Amino acid sequence: MEKLKVGDLINIGVFSALYFVCLSVGTLLGVVLIPGGTHIFAPSFAALLSGVVYMFLVTKVKKFGAISIVGILLALFYFSSGHFGPTFLASLIFGFLADFVAKKGHYVSDKWNLASYFVFSLGNLGPVLPMWFMKEAYIQSLVERGKDNSYITKVLASFEWPVIATVLVSLVLFSIIGGVFGQKMVKKHFSKAGLV
């Protein structure tokens, strides 16, 4: 297995920064476009927007560890920005899993890279999962962070099973759309330009 070199780490840093921009824009879109203004659909919008960045990273580096490092950086971001404790675990776990999936296709298979992107996108459910599965502990963490009752009520208002199903379906669809679009952009523009 080839080791990551300094140039690879620089590429990972650049693509991680671009991924964070896409994640931020996805979160903003979720808050602005979805009634109620919560970030519940942020993972879906992030998956729609980040496909080009992800596919370029996978195609450029083609080594185990690149995707995992982005997952670790996401986990560190969630951990250091005051999110609920277990939130960061999803980014860690799905980051490593996504790396293994892409490795199965040697980082060149469209099918495996697309599956890898979907798995990686599941990591962005980290901030949302505690609202569904650890509701009381999540509410307590919001109280400890100084959030008032109206904020807590607003955040938790939309967490019914039909909404959860909609979030999951939209994440699947948007990650496929974003991933396929990313693959097409990499082939059409970046490959021709000799960037990958």
Q: What percent of the chain has pLDDT over 90?
A: 56
pTM (2 d.p.): 0.87
Q: Is the pLDDT of residue 134 over 80?
A: no
Rounded to whole angstroms, the Cα distance separating 187 from 182 reads: 9
Q: What confidence score (pLDDT) does residue 81 get?
A: 78
Q: What confidence score (pLDDT) does residue 196 get?
A: 56
CB 124 within 8 A of CB 43: yes
Q: What's the rounded mean pLDDT across residues 6-24?
A: 94
Residue 8 CB contacts under 8 Å (≥ 6 apart), including other chains:
61, 63, 66
